[in-house]
Structure 1
C-alpha cells in the first residue's frame, strides 16, 4: 500500500507540474517545472510497477532539483526550504522499509544500501547538509555599524519643546521623531516593564470602513498625554498613571462613503485668545472624519468658542464636488508662527471629479482663513471669496507636513490627483505638483520651491510621510536639510532652503507604453539613498511549496513587468514596489546628532489591471460604497490586488521587511536587518523571523535606542541604533500600527508609549490599548 500511495502521489504531482510547466514554457518562463514534473511522472510509473529503478530516477530528480536550487538561490534558507518542502521528505519516505521491501528487497540492510537505494540515500543526505548550511547562512542582512556622532553636530534640542515632552506628531514640527532623553540605553532596555495599560473603549462598529485603524501618536505636554481615536474621540490621560482626565466626543455621524477611519494625531499650541481669559491658553486641534477642525482647551477638553464658528472650522468651505465622506483630514495640522496649516485626504479613484487638494492656513486663535494654496491655481494664495470654489481633483496632502519657523517655510507632501492609475486628462498644474514636496511660505502660502519624486505618477506613489528636518554637516558646512522617504523606496535628502538635492539625484530611463489616451514619463528621479527593490527575476518568486511557486511563475509571466514604473495595463501589470510602499505614512526617524536615518523598508508587490469602462454607472471592481477604484467618468476602472499565490502567500521571497540605518552625510547604509516574524500571519503561529512589513514609524532616542511597533506581528521592539540589533521586545494585545513616542514623567522616569489598536486593511487584530513602559523604579 505504501508503494501505491507513493506512486499515486508522484503521478499527481507530476501531472500538476507537467501541465503547469508546459503552460509556463508557453509564456516564456523556465522549463524547470515541466522537467521536474516529468521526473515525478516517471518515478510514479516505476513505483506502481514495483521497479527498483524508481529510487534511481527519484535520486536524479532530487539531485537535479538541488542543483537548480543552489544555482538560483544559493544557501538562502527561506528560498531553499519551499523548493525542497515536498521533494526531500518524499525522498526520505522512499527509503523507509515500508517502501523498500515492496520493491523486491526482503531484508532492510546492507544489501539495500549497497544497491539501488544508495544514490537516493546520498541525494537525501546532500539535501540535509544543504539545509543545515542554509539555516546557518545569512544572505540578506548587512551587519555593520554606524559611525559615532560628530563633535560638530548640531544640538538635538528644540527650545520650544522641553526635552522630556512630545508636542507634535514628530515630537516637534521638524518631524524627526527623535527624543533627547537618554535614560533608556542598549545596556538596560531589556529591563523595560509595563507601567500602565489604558483602554480607550473605542472599538470597531458595524458599517465602519475596512480601513478603520489606530494610527495615533499621542502628545505629551506638561503632565498630560493627549490622543485621538478612529471615531475622533479626544482623550487626556495622566502621563504618570495613565488615568483618564477627560474625553471629548465630537459626535461624528457614521458614513458608508469613507475610505478611512483613523486619526493619526492632534496638534498643540500654547497661547491665549484675546477674549477667552485663562481658558484655551493651551489648545488642541483635531480634524474630524466629517471634515471639521475643532479647537479644544487642553486643560478641560471644552471647545474653544472663539475659534471659527463656535469652536470649529468647516473644511468643506469652498470645496467643489461636495459629497459627505469624500474629503476629510486623517492627519494633524502643522502649526507655525501662530498659523494652523492643514490639507486633507480625498477618496481614491472614485471619479475624476473629486474635491480639491487645497492647503489652507487658519489663525490659531480666531480660526480665520489667512491663505489658501490651491495646486490648481498656485499663484493666488489670498483667501478666495465665499461663492468661489477651489480647483477639483488636484494633488492632495493626506499625510503630515513639517515646518521651519526660522526659515518661515512649511513643507507639504503631496499625492497624485484622481485617477491614480490613468492620467491622460490631468491638468498642467496637476502634472507639476503630483507626488511632490512643496515648500510654502508660512506667512503667505506662496510657493517657494517644489521637488517632484515621480513624474506623471501612474502608480499611486503619493509622498506618504512627513518630511524630517535636520541640519547636515557637509563639505560646505552645516546645511539645513529635508529628509523625505517615498513609497518607491527613495529617500531624498534636499536643501530645505531651495529644494536642491544634497545627496545626488539622477534621472533614469523608465518603461514606456501607457494605456490608450495616456503617456509615460521618459525618466524618473532616483536618489543616491534608496531602498528600491531590484528588478524581480524568476529566482525571486516564492511559494510554500514548488507547486504554488509554479503558480506564481505562471502569474508573473502572464503580467506585464519591466521593472519599477511598469505602466498599468489592461493585460495586468506587476507593480513593484506596490502602492503600500517601501515607506508609508510612518516615515523615518532622524538622529540630528549622529546624522543618521533609521528606516523600515518593506516589499510587497501589487498587480494593477485597467478595466475598460463601457459607461459611467456600471461597477466593475467594487461591491459596496464608496465604490473605490471604479473611476466613474474615466476610460478605465482599476483592479488592484496583492501579488500572492493561490493559497494567499506572497509570490515574492522573504524578507518582506527590514530595519535599516544610514548615514545622511554619505547616503551609505551601514546596517540592514530583516525584522519581524510571521507568528501572527501564518496558519500555525510559529515565530519564524522572516522579516515582515511594518506600517507605523520608528522613534529614536539620545540613549542610542530606537523603538518600532508597526510590524505585522504584535510586538513593540527596541533596537541598538549603532548596529540595528534587536535588543528587546514586548508582546502587544493587538496590531501596533502606530508610531511610538517617549517622554519623562513627573517622577523622572522615561516612559515609552505605544498604541495598539490594529489596522483594518492589513488584517491585524483590533483593539483599543494604550500602553506605557519604563525601567523599574
Structure 2
C-alpha cells in the first residue's frame, strides 16, 4: 500500500510541476520545473512497476535540483530551502524500508532484499551538507565599516537646541536625527532598561480607516515631552517620570474618506517677544486630520485664542474642491523667521477633483497668511485675492520640511499629481515640480531651485522623506552646506543646498517605454552616485515556502509587464520595484555630522499595479478607501488602479528575502560601507519564529554621539540598537505594539540619558496597534 500511495503522490507532484513548467517555459522562463515534473512522473511509473531504478532516477533528480539551485542562487539558505525542501523530504521517504523492500529482489533462497540505497542516500547526504554549509554562509549581507574619525570638531547641528533636548521632528531644523549625547554608547547600550511607560488612551477603533497609524516622534523641551496621537490628541508628559501633564482633544472625529489617520508630530515655539511666564509664550501647534492647525499653550494645553480664529486655523481655505476627508496635514509644520510653514496630504487616487497641494506660510503669532506657493501656479506667491482658489490637484507635500534660516530657505519634499499612475494632461509646472525637492524662500515663498527625482512619475515615487541638512567636507578640503535627500527609488541626492547643484554625480539612464496609448513615458530617468536601488528582479529571485508556490511566483512574474524599474503601468498588470513603500519613506535617514556618515533602513518589497478601464471599474462600496492595496477609484479619470504587494499563493512576498536592511554609507565619497539584514519574521507568521530574514519596515532611525543608531520600524515588534560603524546589532527589546515611529533621546536633570520609543502600530503593514510611549535608560548606580 505504501508504495502505491507514494507512486500516486509522485504522479500528482509530477503533473503539477509539468503543467506549471509548460506554462512557465512558454512564457520564457526556466525549464527546470517541466524537466523535474517529467522526472517525477517517470519515477511514479517506476514505483508503480516496483522497479529499483526509481531510486536511481530520483537520485538524479536530487542532484540535478541541487546543481540547478546552487547555480541560480549560490549558497543562500533561504533560497535553497524552498527549492530543495520537498525534494529532500521525499528522498528521505524513498530511503525507508517500506519503499526499498518492495523495490528489492528475492534471493534463490526466498529471502527478500531491499533495493540499494547508495545512490539516493549519497545524493540526499550531499544535499543536506550543502544546506548546512548554506546555513552558516552570509550570502546576502555587505560587510564593511564606516570611518570612525571625527572630520569636524564642532559640526553645525542646525538651530540653537541644547544637547539634552529635542525641539523638532528631526531634533533641529536640519532634520539630522542626531544627538550629541554619549552617555549611552556601544560599550553599554546592552544595559538599557525600561524606566517608565505611558499609555495615551488613544487606541485604534473598529470604525477607524485601515491606515490608522502611530508615527509620532516626541519633542523634548525643558522637562516636558510633547506628542500627538493618531486621533490628534496633543499630550504633554513629564520627561523624567512619564506622568501626564496635560491632554487636549481637538475632537477631529472620524471620516471613512480619510486615507490616513495619523500624526507624526507637533511643532514647538517660544515667542521671543513675550514674557516667559505670559500665557502662550510657549506654544505647541497641532495639525489635525480634519484640516485644522491649532495653537496650544505648551504649559497647560489651553488654546491660544490670539492665533487665527480663536486659536484655530482652517487649512481648507481657498481650496478648489473641499470634500470632507480629502485634505489634512499628517506632519508637523516648521517655524522660521516668524512664520509657520505647512503643507498637507491629499488623498491618493480618490478623484481628480482634489484639493490643492499648496504650501503656505502664516504669521506664527496671529495666523495671517504671508505667502502661498502652489506647484500648479508657482509664480503667484502673494496671498490670493478674494474669490480665487489654488490649483486643483497640484503636487502636494505630506512629509516633513527642513529649514536653513541663515540661507533663508525651506526645503520641501514634493509628491505627485493624483492619479499617481496616470500622467496625461499634466501642466508644465506640474511636470517640473512633481516628485522633487524644492527650495523656497522663507520670506516670499519664491522657489530658488528644484531637483526632480523622477521624470513624469507614473509610480507614486513622491519624495517621502525629510531632506537632511549638514555641512559636508569636499575632496579639496572645503566645507559645503549640503542637503541629503533619500527617495523611494533608493537614490540619495547629495546637493549643495544653496543652489541645488549636485555634490555627487547625477546621471540620466534609459528607462522602459510602452505606456498606455493616452500617456507617455520619459525616455530617461535620473540616478545618483550614492544609491540603494535594487537590481532588476529575475526568475531566480522568486520565492515561496515550497517549490510549488515559488513556481507560481515565477509564472506570475513572467505574466506581469516588467522591464525593470520604471516599467509603466498597464492594463495587463505591471510589476513596480521598488514598490509604493519605497526603498526609503517618511522615516528618512539619520546622519552623523561629525563623522559625515549616514545610517538608514532600505526596504525592498515589490508591488503590482493594474489599470482598470473606467467602464470595468466596480462601484465604490460604502467605507471603501483608496490605499496602497486594493482598487483605487480615480474618479474622473479614464482608469482606476488596482495595487498591492507582489504576493504568492500563501500571501507571502513572491520575491526572496531579505526585504529589509540596515545600512551605512560614507557621505564624503558616496560609498556604501555595509548592508545587514534587519528584523525577524517573529510577528509575520502564525508561529513566533525568530528567523532573521530581513523584513520590511517603515519608520526612521536616530544616531547618538555614542556611536549608536536606534531603530524600530521593522514589522516585528522590537526596538533595536546598532553599532553605527559596522551595523552590528548591539541590543533589542520587545515592544508591546508595532514600533513604526522614529525614536528620540534626551537627558534629564540628574544627567541620565533617556531613549524614547512610541509603539502604536501601522495600519498599512498590519503591525500590532497600541498607545505606548516607553522610555529606556542605563541602570542607576
TM-score by length of 1: 0.97
Q: Corresponding residue for 1:501?
A: 502
Where do residues 65-464 of structure 1 align in structure 2 (5 Å cutoff)? Answer: 65-104=65-104, 116-152=116-152, 154-155=154-155, 157-158=157-158, 160-271=160-271, 278-464=278-464
Match of 1:715 in 2: 718
Deviations 1:435-483 (A, max 9, x none): 0000000011111000000000000001001000000000341000000
Which residue of 687, 699, 703 maps to 1:700? Answer: 703
Q: Does 1:758 align with 2:761?
A: yes
Deviation at 1:274, TM superposition (A): 6.4
Moved more, 158-167 or 268-277: 268-277
Q: 1:206 offset after TM fit, Å? A: 2.4
1:513–1:157 distance in 2 versus 1, CA, 3 Å: closer
Question: Equivalent residue for 2:745?
Answer: 742
RMSD across aligned C-alpha pairs, in angstroms? 1.7
Shift of 1:516: 1.9
In structure 2, do the counterparts of structure 1 residues 601 and 220 end up closer, same or farther at CA, with 3 Å as the change threshold? Answer: same
C-alpha distance in structure 2 between counterparts of 1:82 and 1:622, whole Å: 39
Question: Any idea what the Cα deviations from partners look like across 1:191-250, whole Å, max 9, x if unmatched?
Answer: 000000111110111221100000000000000011000000111110001000110000
Superimposed CA distance per residue, residues 149-193 of structure 1 (whole angstroms, 9 cap, x where no aligned partner): 344354254551100000000001100100000000111000000
Measured in 1, the distance between the counterparts of 2:708 and 2:152 equals: 22
Distance (Å, rounded) in 1 between the aligned partners of 2:721 and 2:524: 39
**For residues 29 and 726 of structure 1, what CA distance do their matches in structure 2 show?**
39
Secondary structure class of the residue paired with 1:103: coil
The corresponding residue for 1:662 is 665
Q: 1:548-563 maps to which residues of 2 (within 5 A)?
A: 548-563=549-564
Q: Deviations over 1:247-280 (max 9, x none)?
A: 0000112111100000000111111676997011
For structure 2, the 5+ residue unaligned runs are none
Cα shift at 1:127: 0.4
- 1:146 and 1:228 map into 2 onto residues whose CA distance is 36
Q: Is 1:593 matched up with 2:584? A: no
Whether the 8 Å contact between 1:344 and 1:357 is mirrored in structure 2 is yes
- Whether the aligned pair in 1 keeps the contact of 2:491 and 2:533 (CA below 8 Å) is yes
CA contact (8 A) 1:472 1:595 kept: yes
CA distance in 1, matches of 2:17, 2:313: 63
Paired with 1:222 and 1:414, the residues of 2 have a C-alpha distance of 33
Cα distance in 1 between the residues matched to 2:452 and 2:101: 71
Distance 1:446 1:464, change over 3 A: same
Q: Specify the alignment match of 2:533 in structure 1.
A: 532
2:634 to 621, 631, 640: 631
Taking the aligned partners of 1:202 and 1:448, their CA distance within structure 2 comes to 41
Provide the rounded CA distance (Å) in 2 between the counterparts of 1:151 and 1:652. Answer: 40
Q: Secondary structure at the match of 1:614?
A: helix
Q: Distance in 2 between matches of 1:312 and 1:396?
A: 22
SS of residue paired to 2:673: strand
Bigger shift: residues 196-205 or 453-462: 196-205
Q: What's the offset of the Cα at 1:685?
A: 1.4
| SS in structure 2 of the partner of residue 356 of structure 1 | coil
Q: Unpaired segments of 5 or more residues in structure 1?
A: none
What's the offset of the Cα at 1:101? 1.9
Moved over 3 A (4+): 111-116, 150-154, 156-159, 272-277, 618-628
2:173·2:404 contact (CA, 8 Å) conserved in 1?
yes
Q: Give the SS at the match of 2:550.
A: helix
Q: Whole-Å Cα distance in 2 between the matches of residues 333 and 112 of structure 1? A: 84
Moved more, 37-46 or 647-656: 37-46
Measure, in 2, the Cα distance between the counterparts of 1:159 and 1:515.
Answer: 48
Indicate conservation of the 8 Å contact 1:621/1:639, yes or no. no
Alignment check: 8 A CA contact 2:156 2:471 kept: no
Change (3 A) 1:243 1:275: closer
Q: Is the 8 A contact 2:712 2:718 kept in 1?
A: yes
Moved more, 144-153 or 165-174: 144-153
Task: Find the aligned partners of 1:469 and 1:216 in 2 and give their Cα distance.
Answer: 21
Q: Is contact 2:157–2:172 with CA below 8 Å preserved after alignment?
A: no
Q: Secondary structure at the match of 2:403?
A: strand
How far apart, in 2, do the equivalents of 1:522 and 1:287 lie? 40
State whether residues 415 and 435 of structure 1, in contact with CA within 8 Å, keep that contact through their aligned partners in structure 2: yes
In the other structure, the counterpart of 1:619 is: 618
3-state SS of paired residue (1:102): coil
- In the TM superposition, residue 99 of structure 1 has moved relative to its aligned partner by 1.7
Q: Is the 8 A contact 1:177 1:698 kept in 2?
A: yes
1:773 corresponds to 2:772: no
Higher mean C-alpha deviation, range 623-632 or range 332-341: 623-632
Measure, in 1, the Cα distance between the counterparts of 2:752 and 2:275. 38
Conservation of the 8 A alpha-carbon contact between 1:532 and 1:582 = yes
The answer for the alignment partner of 1:725 in structure 2 is 728
Greater mean alpha carbon deviation, residues 711-720 or residues 158-167: 158-167
Q: Describe the SS at the equivalent of 1:84.
A: helix
Q: Matched residues in 1 for 2:649 and 2:665: separation?
A: 37
Give the secondary structure class of the aligned counterpart of 1:561: coil
8 Å CA contact retained: 2:104, 2:112 = no
Confirm or deny: 8 A CA contact 1:493 1:501 kept in the other structure.
yes
- Identify which of 658, 672, 679 aligns with 2:675: 672
Q: Matched residues in 2 for 1:280 and 1:47: separation?
A: 85
Q: Residue 354 of structure 1 aligns to a residue in which SS?
A: coil
Give 3-state SS (helix, strand or coil) of 1:232's partner.
coil
Cα 1:113–1:556 change in 2 (3 A) is farther
DSSP 3-state at the match of 1:637:
strand
- In 2 relative to 1, CA 159–444 (structure 1 residues): closer, same or farther, beyond 3 Å? closer
Measured in 1, the distance between the counterparts of 2:537 and 2:113 equals 43
Contact 1:214 1:264 in 2 (8 A): yes
SS at match of 2:615: coil
TM-superposed deviation, 1:376: 1.2
2:391 counterpart SS class: coil
Partner of 2:517: 516
Look up the match of 1:4: 4
Q: What is the total number of aligned residue pairs between the two structures?
A: 772
Contact 1:272 / 1:279 at 8 angstroms: preserved in 2? no
Kindly state the Cα deviation for residue 672 of structure 1 after the two structures are TM-superposed.
1.1
Q: 1:623: Cα distance to partner?
A: 6.6
CA distance in 2, matches of 1:167, 1:326: 30
Matches within 5 A, 1:44-55: 44-55=44-55
TM, length-normalised to structure 2: 0.97
